[in-house]
Each structure stands twice: as C-alpha cells, then as structure tokens.
Structure 1
Amino acid sequence: MGSYRRDGFRQEPCHLVTPAWRAYSGSMESEVRTVALRTGISVPCFVRGHLEQTVDDGGTPLVMLHAWGESWRSFERLIAALPDVVVVAPDLRGHGLAEKPPGGYSLVEVAEDVVALFDALGLVRAHVLGSSSGGYVAQQLAVARPDLVASLILVGAPLSLHGKPAFAAEVDSLTDPISEEWVRVSLSWYRLLHTVPASYIEDRVQDGLAMPASVWKESLRGFYEAVPPTEAGSISAPTLILWGAYDHLVPRNHEETLTRRIQGSRLKIYEETGHLVLWECPERVAGDVVGFLG
C-alpha cells in the first residue's frame, strides 16, 4: 500500500479499497445507523456495541467527534485500535453523508446536534473524544451539558478559533463543484511527521469533496464567530488533552492555557507529531485513551 511521508503529501501509487466497517468491529457487533435528530436533520452514525445494554448496565460509551472537513470514517484507524470500547461516531452536520442544510452551523447549534444524537440513541452519559475542531464542539458540549459528559479527550483541539483565519478568504471563494485539486492542497496545510497510509488520505479527499462550498464556508464561519467555550463557561469533566509538539495551527501556549482553564485536566505532548495526531499516531492515542478511561 502506498503512503504519504515526511516529505509532504506526495502520493505513491496505491490501490484504493474502501474499508469495510465490520473489519474493525472486534468481538462486538457494529453498524452504521441513520439517525433522525430533533434539530431537523438526519446523520449517519457508526455504532459498535449494544448501546441499550451498555446504558442499562451503567456502562459509558465513547462518542467521537470528527474535525472540520472530515467524517466519522476519519476515526476508522482509532476504532480498530480500541476493539473493546463501545463507540458512537456520527457525521456532523453538513459533513460526510449527513444532511447539508443551508444553516445551523454555529458552534452552539452543532453541539446541540450532538445533544440531540444523545437523545435519539438513548444515551444519558458518555465519554467524548474530539479531534481538532471536533474538540471545539466537544468543549461546547461539556460547557452546555456537563451532565452528558463523563470525561473529555481533546486531540489537537484549539483553545480558541475566534477571529477570521488567514485561509478564510480562500474558503469564501469556493464554488461548486469543489475542486479535487483544492481539497488536496488544503490537506497540505497540515504537516505530517509520520507515515500515513495513502488510502486514508484518499478517504479524507473524498470527505472534502462530499461537502458543498456553502458548508465549507458556513461551518468555518460558525467556528471563528463563536465565543470560545472555556470563555463562555467552565468544564468540570475529567479531561485529557493530547497535542503534537509540531502543531503549527494550535500553539503550545494555547494548550497550556486550555489545561489551566479545565481544572484537573492533563496535557500530554507527542513530541514528534504535528496537528493531525489521530492521523499520525492512532495506536498511541488508543493506548492513552484506554489508560485514561481505566
């Protein structure tokens, strides 16, 4: 299989195979459900394990929230490395195969979609893992509905996205259909220090192409216009923060500030990793998740 390497996003020849979700289901059954939310949209959601039994037994699933421009499938390698964990991983509004309405992309509204997902699935409490901007959504959820969040795992998650980023003008200029070349160039914004399978990158390209220009624009605007969650309120859930030392998008002092703001949280630094911690080190993240959740 081909791969992307330290020297950038240079693609080697590869044969693309769409991963079969049952391949990483472990000993538990898994499926992709279409879930109708009370917020007015339907989203696909990967579910592994018997949620009803888990809730009845007092167990706590792990809900995974993906990054901007991705889908639940960006967690496939992490899910494979957590074979004994009950997992819930939705496509967020406008992403992947989720419905793509013209509005509803503010941080508060996207977090409310997650609350609605809890309600639809009968979840009363869960561990929540958020990757990159998905970690921003996870923080908002923990502030707005602390009763739902048993613990928080933030992977390359920002302290703040407030203020228009430098690349916003480029995103604002997008038109449909989204150019595959643009999606590939946008992925090169993220430096990789470890080998990542080319097929995984190709799946992220498809994630990007699945989003219309309006969703790229509105979802980004929803992040940079939002009040940072830890400024709007406080987070009381036990929290693990994982961050790559070569992350050029989320600076170290921001993660240190985030750690101070979330009382009792712990920051773990991956010294040879960039912003895309989950892309580069899914097995290591899995080990830290298991250790944190006990």
Structure 2
Amino acid sequence: MPEVVINGHTTTWWEAGTGEPLLLIMGTGMSGRAWAHEVEELSARYRCITYDMRGVGTADCTDSDYTPALLAEDAVALLDALGIDAAHVMGFSLGSCTAQELVLAHPDRVRSVVLLSTWSRTADENHVRRHYESRRYALQHGPMDVFGKFAFWMWSPTLLEEEHDRICALEAELRGWTGSKDVSGFIGHFTADLAHDAIDRLPSISVPVLVVHGDEDRITLPRYNRRVAAAIPGAEYVEIPRAGHLAFLEQPAALNKAVEEFLSRSAG
C-alpha cells in the first residue's frame, strides 16, 4: 500500500491495470478500496487509481473545513504526485461532488467524468440534505458508526425484499471498507456533503460527462441526477435498474457496462 503526502496530509493509494488513467473517487466515509468490483473489471482496459480521501480509511484527518472543492484539490495533488497530466474521473456521491469541482477548477486535468449518484446543490435537495444532516448529528452526539440506522436507506427496496441475504453480505463487505482515524473525519465528510453547490457552474463543463445512478436511489433521488445531467451540455444519462444509492455494489456488472461504453467513446 504506497503512501503519499498531498496537501499536507498522508494517505494511501492503489492502482491496477494499464492504459489511460481512470481516477476513482469514493463517497462519504468509505475507503477507495470499496471500488473493488469496478477496478476488477475496468482495469482490463484502464489504469485504475483509487485512494482514501482525507478523513477516512488510512488518510489523516485534518482541521480544515471540508468542502468538495478542498477534496478536489487533493485529487489534483494526487495526480501531480503520480505524474498524471489528465485522467478520466469517476466519483460516487461525495466523490461525484468532488469530481464536479475538479473538472470545474481544472478542466485541463480531466478527460471525461462519470458522476455516480450525484446532485448539484444540497440546499435545494431535501432528501440528500436531511440525510447528511442527520448522519452528522448522530456522529456528533453518539458513537462513531457511519452507517447505524441509516444503512437501510442506502439499498434498493427491491433487492432488500428479493435478495436480502446478498444485501446483508454486501453490507458486511462495505463496513469493512469504512473507517476513520477519528470521528472528525466522518463529520468533515458530512460537512462537505452539505456544502456542495455547483448548479450555476455546471453549464461551463465541456468534457464528456456521464450521469449514472440507481433507479431506486432514496438518497440522491433520480430527479437530482437528472438535474445535473440537464445542466451539463451534452451529458449522457443512465439509470441502473434494481439499484439504490450503492449501485456500485448492488449492480456492478450493469454499472461497469455503462461506464465502459461511455469511456470507450471518450477515450483517446
């Protein structure tokens, strides 16, 4: 597990495969290792790079005010450290907000963007706002459990009903990929979720963009994802059937197919 110092904090990064670089940015409270199902498939054609964002996993927690823009600068610093001029970028949830800020601030560093389970301005989108407000409050006033009573809302209702044992196994897998050196890291991530506001700037994005999400997502609702896609000129839009917020775990084959088809059109 190679370590790297970026913007004053130490973290761990991983890579697999060769080809054009693909930077994968995970969501709130989750290690980059949670991209395992995507890396296994996508590394056949791309150099897949994952890492722990500041505040989670092996990464240091910092006293900074966490925002998607700050996390985007960390991503750029990682590309710099690895000698990568430009990469395809795929972000999930908070990672998708980070990817938005990355392409807005550094369009020359981004070849294309995949936004998975995304939104554009937290203040406008009450499901996602209340979700992260509640989770931050729970951590501020209780034990360090990033899931707790909120895990139920992350999964597809269809899969919970029809494939309950598989969902339980996936939840155990995901818990193994979730952790922080200190509760402040998780709180920082929730603060970044709540700070996101890019809707007025999204029309300036000019690189190829895919917005993709689960059709049963109860956190970043389908209409939030459609709003992002509608705001970005030429953006493609895909819904993954029978998937909730965690489509990268629930339906990895369908997600990988959509991503591979998009990247094949955007690569080169």
**Which among 14, 20, 26 is matched to residue 66 of structure 1?**
26
Q: Which residue of 2 aligns with 1:53?
A: none
Deviations 1:23-49 (A, max 9, x none): xxxxxxxxx321111x10111111124
Query: What RMSD over aligned residues (CA atoms) do the two structures have, in Å?
Result: 2.3
Post-superposition CA distance 1:150-192 (Å, at most 9, x none): 0011111122223783242452342598355x63423222123
State the shift of 1:201 in Å. Answer: 2.2
1:288 is paired with a residue whose SS is helix
1:191 alignment counterpart: 155
The correspondence for 1:95, drawn from 44, 53, 56, is 56
Larger Rg: 1
Cα displacement string for residues 202-226 of structure 1 (whole angstroms, at most 9, x for unaligned residues): 2422444435322222221122123
Q: Does 1:236 align with 2:206?
A: yes
Q: Write the letter of the residue equivalent to 2:185.
A: V
- Structure 1 runs of 4+ with >6 Å offset: none
TM-score, structure 1 length as denominator?
0.78
- DSSP-derived class of the 1:174 partner: helix
Q: Give ranges in structure 2 of 5+ residues lacking alignment.
A: none
- Give the counterpart letter for 1:249 in structure 2: I
Q: Which moved more, 1:113-122 or 1:97-106?
A: 97-106
Find 2:2's aligned residue among 13, 18, 33.
Answer: 33
CA apart distance, 1:112 = 0.5
Aligned to 1:272: 242
C-alpha distance after superposition, 1:237-264 (max 9, x if no partner):
1011112111122223222221121111
Distance verdict in 2 for CA 1:198–1:276, change over 3 Å: same
| Counterpart-to-counterpart distance in 1, 2:29 and 2:79 | 22
Which residue number in structure 1 is paired with residue 174 of structure 2? 204
Give 1:131's aligned residue. 92
Residue 43 (structure 2) pairs with residue 43 (structure 1): no
Residue matched to 2:218: 248
Q: 1:159 aligns with which of 113, 120, 126?
A: 120
Cα deviation for residue 83 of structure 1 reads: 3.8
2:252 and 2:138 mapped to 1: Cα distance?
A: 33
The verdict on how the C-alpha distance between 1:191 and 1:144 changes in structure 2, with shifts beyond 3 A counting, is same
**153-162 vs 106-115, which moves further:** 153-162
In structure 1, distance between residues paired with 2:168 and 2:2: 27
Q: Please give the secondary structure, in 1, of the residue aligned with 2:112.
A: strand
Structure number having the greater helix percentage: 2
8 Å Cα contact 1:104/1:110 also seen in 2: no
Look up the equivalent residue of 2:235 and give its one-letter code: S
* Pair 1:81 & 2:45 matched: no
Distance 1:253 1:114 in 2: 28
Q: Could you tell me how far apart the structure 2 residues matched to 1:229 and 1:173 are?
A: 27
In structure 2, give the amino acid aligned to 1:174.
L
- Size of the alignment, in residue pairs? 252
Q: Does 1:220 align with 2:190?
A: yes
